[in-house]
Amino acid sequence: MNGDWLLLGRDGRLSVYLPSNDTALWRAERMPAGAWEAPRRVGGDQELSPGSLAAGRGSDGYTHLVAWRPTGSHRCDLVHTTHFRPLLAPLDWQPAGHPDKQGDRTGTPAVAVDAQGRAHVFVRDQGGRMSMVAQREKGGWAPWRDLEGSGVLESPTAVTTRSGLVEVYAPVRDGILHWRQEKPGTRMVLGELLDVPVRPGTLRALATSEEHTTVFYTDDDTGELCALRPGGKPAPLLPAAGPGPVAAVRTVIDGHDCTLVAQRAAGSGRVAFAAYPSELEELGADWTESGPALPPDATVSLAQDATGRLVAATLSPSTGQLLLSRRKDETGLALGAWGAV
């Protein structure tokens, strides 16, 4: 799953989205902070390519999902659906095309949603260049665009700024490439290479202020979890707790605007949390572990509920077990007991 999979809907209910073999499933709260519905299939009976699901949430509270769908022998295309309300089924999957017009799966997609509610889908093409397709304002899809930038590796990460502009980061052999919109509805612009030893498959981006987005990644030389903003220098935070990308969210802790990151710890199998004042990485951070030991394939996602309370979730595809914890009404980052959903 590329992107956050625990998301707050427009009606104040939380939903989770999860790949399951050749399909995608979703679950939702029956009422805010209440019991949960049983898992339901996304988008009807269409078959999806395993491990290809990406998710993004718009400021309107609608969730956009993108995945690869097999269409024949060594042939796939990307499909998209929108989920308007947690208790209503998502729309059926609709084709979004292929960066090379036709062919096999080319890479893991990423999706972000602009201020006008339009999904922007990013994926590398067969030649290793970044491609994108965006929804038109009046429906349908604009033509695919070649964003250039050679040598793109797996799992780009897309993010929407606080002002509703879309950005995307992608790992390459020599660092991280970064594209951004300069104005609403304009073409993505490729910036300078972020020259860092990035471990592929570890990128996660977050809007950390009104002006900036921050990309988190694991340094391939040191194993440190680092934070980087275009035009700035990489800031090592602490040793990565485990493989893959961290989950990240901005939240208020004791009156301070903080960035919280979380990851399954490879050693203990528990969820490790670290928080620091947003964009002040030089102050450092420390991991604090919580909850039970989880299977190696378990991932973590973070969100805030309709009241602004922090919610953490873990999901293991091999067991299907979904665990949830909410922050207590106490000082510091105090989480309640983890419970199975």
In a domain, 308, yes or no: no
Cα–Cα distances in Å, from 27 out to 35, 51, 97, 234, 281? Answer: 11, 18, 27, 37, 35
Cα–Cα distances in Å, from 45 out to 63, 93, 212? Answer: 20, 9, 40
Q: Which two tokens stand for residue 276?
A: 């620091």
Read off the CATH number of the domain in which 21 is found.
Answer: 2.120.10.70
Task: Classify residue 326 by burial, with Cβ atoms within 10 Å: 0-12, 13-18, 19+.
Answer: middle
In a domain, 302, yes or no: no
In a domain, 267, yes or no: no
Per residue of the chain (341 residues), give pLDDT as tens: 899 999 999 999 999 999 888 999 999 999 999 999 999 999 888 899 988 899 999 999 999 999 999 999 999 999 999 999 998 999 999 999 999 999 999 999 999 999 999 999 999 999 999 999 999 988 899 999 999 899 999 899 999 999 999 999 999 999 999 999 999 888 999 999 999 999 999 999 999 999 999 999 999 999 999 999 999 999 999 999 999 999 999 999 999 999 999 999 999 999 999 999 999 999 999 999 999 999 999 999 999 999 999 999 999 988 888 999 999 988 889 999 999 99
Cβ neighbours around 188 below 10 Å, total: 22
Distance CA 317, CA 20 (A): 7
Question: Containing domain of residue 177, as a range?
Answer: 1-148+171-195
Instruction: Note the pTM of the prediction, 2 decimals.
Output: 0.95
Distance CA 287, CA 285 (A): 7
In a domain, 200, yes or no: no
Predicted pLDDT of residue 96? 97
Predicted pLDDT of residue 154? 84
In a domain, 331, yes or no: no
In a domain, 143, yes or no: yes
Predicted pLDDT of residue 81? 96
Cα–Cα distances in Å, from 263 out to 83, 118, 271? Answer: 27, 30, 6
Predicted pLDDT of residue 317? 85
In a domain, 133, yes or no: yes
In a domain, 305, yes or no: no
Please count the structural domains in the chain. Answer: 1
